[in-house]
Structure 1
Amino acid sequence: MPEAFSEGQLDIHKLTALLSEQDIAPAQEAYGLSWAGKHQVYRELKTPTSQTLVPEPDESVNFDTSQNLFIEGDNLAVLKILQKSYHSRIKMIYIDPPYNTGNDRFVYADDFSESIADYKARAGQTDADGNLTHSDGMRGNRKENGQYHSNWLNMMYPRLALAKSLLREDGVIFVSIDDNEVANLRLLMDEIFGEENFATELIWKSRQNVDSRNKSNISNDHEYIIVYCKDVSKFKFTGKSIDLKKYSNPDNDPRGPWMSNNILGLANKDQRPNLHYTLIDPETNIAYECPAESGWRFSKETMAEKVAEKRIVFPKKKSGRPREKVFLNELSTRFTGFSSFLDTDNGFTLNGTREVRELFDSKYFDFPKPLALLKNLIKQGSNDNDIILDFFAGSATTAHAVMALNAEEAENNEAGKRKFIMVQIPEATEADSEAYKAGFTNIAEISKERIRRAAAHITSELPESVDSKALDFGFKAYTLADSNFIPWQQPASYDADSLMAQLEKHLDPISDNATTDGIITELMLKEGYTLTAIVSEGDGYYLVTQNDALIDNFDADSSDNAGTSIRLAIVLDDMTTDKATQIIARAPNKTLIMDRAFSDDANKANIVLQFEDAGLVVGCV
Structure 2
Amino acid sequence: MSDIEKIHGITPDLTKENVDRLLALFPDVATEITDPKTGRTERAVDFDALKERLGDVAEGNRERYQFTWPGKREAKHLAREPIAKTLRPVKERSKDWDTTRNLYIEGDNLDALKLLRENYAGKVKLIYIDPPYNTGHDFIYKDNFGKTVAAAKSESGDYDDEGGQLVANPESNGRFHSDWCSMIYPRLLLARDLLTNDGVILISVDDHEAVNLKKICDEIFGSESFCAQLVWKSRQNKDNRSVTGVSIDHEYVLMYSKSPDKRVFRGADRLEDAYQNPDNDPRGPWQSANMVGLATEDARPNLHYDLINPKTGINYGKPEKGWRYDQRTMNRLIKDDKIIWPSSPNGRPRRKKFLSELTSDLAGFSSIIGDRIYTRNGSLEIREYS
Report if TM-score (shorter chain) is over 0.5.
Answer: yes
- Could you say if the C-alpha distance between residues 250 and 120 of structure 1 is closer, same or farther in structure 2, counting changes exceeding 3 Å? farther
Q: Determine helix, strand or coil for the equivalent of 1:54.
A: coil
In 2, are the aligned partners of 1:276 and 1:296 still within 8 Å (CA)? no
What does residue 159 of structure 2 align with?
Answer: 124
Pairing of 1:487-502 with structure 2 (within 5 A): none
Confirm whether residue 53 of structure 1 aligns to residue 81 of structure 2.
no
CA offsets, 1:542-577, max 9 Å, x none?
xxxxxxxxxxxxxxxxxxxxxxxxxxxxxxxxxxxx
Pairing of 1:215-364 with structure 2 (within 5 A): 215-234=243-262, 236-238=264-266, 246-251=274-279, 257-264=285-292, 271-272=301-302, 278-280=308-310, 286-292=312-318, 294=322, 297=325, 298-305=329-336, 307=337, 311-315=338-342, 317=344, 319-337=346-364, 341-345=367-371, 347-357=373-383, 359-360=384-385
Larger Rg: 1
RMSD: 3.8
In 2, are the aligned partners of 1:108 and 1:152 still within 8 Å (CA)? no
User: How far 1:48 moved relative to its partner?
Assistant: 0.7
User: How far 1:72 moved relative to its partner?
Assistant: 1.4
Pairing of 1:486-565 with structure 2 (within 5 A): none
Amino acid at match of 2:76: Y
Q: Determine helix, strand or coil for the equivalent of 1:69.
A: coil
Amino acid at match of 2:256: Y
Amino acid at match of 1:278: I
Higher RCO (CA < 8 A, seq sep 6+): 1
* Total equivalences in the alignment: 313
Q: Determine helix, strand or coil for the equivalent of 2:202.
A: strand
User: How far 1:238 moved relative to its partner?
Assistant: 4.2
CA offsets, 1:26-54, max 9 Å, x none?
99454323323222222222211111111
Q: Determine helix, strand or coil for the equivalent of 2:224.
A: helix
CA offsets, 1:300-323, max 9 Å, x none?
344122x2xxx4434355643432
What does residue 234 of structure 2 align with?
Answer: 206
CA distance in 1: counterparts of 2:114 and 2:185, whole angstroms: 13
Confirm whether residue 185 of structure 1 aligns to residue 213 of structure 2.
yes
CA distance in 2: counterparts of 1:287 and 1:184, whole angstroms: 57
In 2, are the aligned partners of 1:210 and 1:221 still within 8 Å (CA)? yes
Pairing of 1:457-468 with structure 2 (within 5 A): none
What does residue 119 of structure 2 align with?
Answer: 85
Amino acid at match of 2:173: N
What does residue 95 of structure 1 align with?
Answer: 129
- Could you say if the C-alpha distance between residues 319 and 356 of structure 1 is closer, same or farther in structure 2, counting changes exceeding 3 Å? same
User: How far 1:184 moved relative to its partner?
Assistant: 1.4
Confirm whether residue 143 of structure 1 aligns to residue 143 of structure 2.
no
Find the partner of 2:107 among 61, 66, 73: 73
Identity level (%): 40
Amino acid at match of 2:214: R
In 1, are the aligned partners of 2:133 and 2:139 still within 8 Å (CA)? no
CA offsets, 1:518-559, max 9 Å, x none?
xxxxxxxxxxxxxxxxxxxxxxxxxxxxxxxxxxxxxxxxxx
Q: Determine helix, strand or coil for the equivalent of 2:196.
A: strand
What does residue 48 of structure 2 align with?
Answer: none
- Could you say if the C-alpha distance between residues 171 and 160 of structure 1 is closer, same or farther in structure 2, counting changes exceeding 3 Å? same
- Could you say if the C-alpha distance between residues 300 and 254 of structure 1 is closer, same or farther in structure 2, counting changes exceeding 3 Å? closer
User: How far 1:296 moved relative to its partner?
Assistant: 7.8
- Could you say if the C-alpha distance between residues 40 and 61 of structure 1 is closer, same or farther in structure 2, counting changes exceeding 3 Å? same
217-226 vs 29-38, which moves further: 29-38
CA distance in 1: counterparts of 2:355 and 2:166, whole angstroms: 54
CA distance in 2: counterparts of 1:243 and 1:124, whole angstroms: 55
- Could you say if the C-alpha distance between residues 198 and 110 of structure 1 is closer, same or farther in structure 2, counting changes exceeding 3 Å? farther
In 2, are the aligned partners of 1:93 and 1:174 still within 8 Å (CA)? yes
CA distance in 2: counterparts of 1:38 and 1:190, whole angstroms: 15
CA distance in 1: counterparts of 2:355 and 2:225, whole angstroms: 33
What does residue 43 of structure 1 align with?
Answer: 77
Structure 2: unaligned runs, 5 residues or longer:
1-59
CA distance in 2: counterparts of 1:234 and 1:124, whole angstroms: 45
